[in-house]
Amino acid sequence: MFYGLTTRYCRQIAYEMAKMNNVPVPESWKENQMAGMDWFRGFRERFPEMSLRKPENCSLARATALNRETVKIFFDNLQNVLSRSPAFAPKGKRNIC
């Protein structure tokens, strides 16, 4: 997901997987809809190579970079390049739009 796996999210996934696979879970899991901290500590001990990180905020520039206008500019530029160099156009096609 490229956003990291937080402690809370890991515990929620554990509960959902247990529920989907009909694995018996303690009542506290059902009440909180997530695995307990004791389960989580054991999980971390079994898989020490797994890293849990706090997700970082996405920069405004990155979040707004892919929009209708930038995509249009890209395809306009691509059409311009292909019209100047037909050798790069797919076989049997001269226009991309």
pLDDT digits (tens, 9 = 90+) for 20-52: 999 999 999 999 999 999 999 999 999 888 877
- Model confidence at 4, pLDDT cuts 50, 70, 90, reads low
In angstroms, rounded to a whole number, what is the distance separating the alpha carbons of residues 93 and 84?
A: 14
Q: What's the one-letter identity of residue 54?
A: K
Residue 67 has pLDDT above 50, yes or no: yes
- Based on the fold, state whether residues 72 and 95 are members of the same structural domain: yes
Report if residue 53 sits inside a domain: no
- Look at residue 2 and tell me if it is in a domain: no
Going by pLDDT thresholds of 50, 70 and 90, the confidence category of residue 64 is confident
Q: Is 69 in the same domain as 94?
A: yes
Range of the domain at 42: 7-46
Q: How many domains does the chain have?
A: 2
What's the confidence (pLDDT) of residue 2?
A: 47
> Do 37 and 15 sit in the same domain of this protein?
yes
* Residue the block writes with tokens 């530029």: 77
- Left (φ > 0), alpha (ψ -120 to 50) or beta: where does 2 sit? left
Mean pLDDT of the 2-27 span:
88
User: Within this chain, do residues 64 and 96 fall inside the same structural domain, yes or no?
Assistant: yes
The span from the CA of 83 to the CA of 95, in Å, is: 7
Query: What size, in residues, is the chain?
Result: 97
Instruction: Round the average pLDDT of the chain to a whole number and report it.
Output: 82
Asked whether residue 66 is domain-assigned, the answer is: yes
> What is this structure's pTM?
0.53
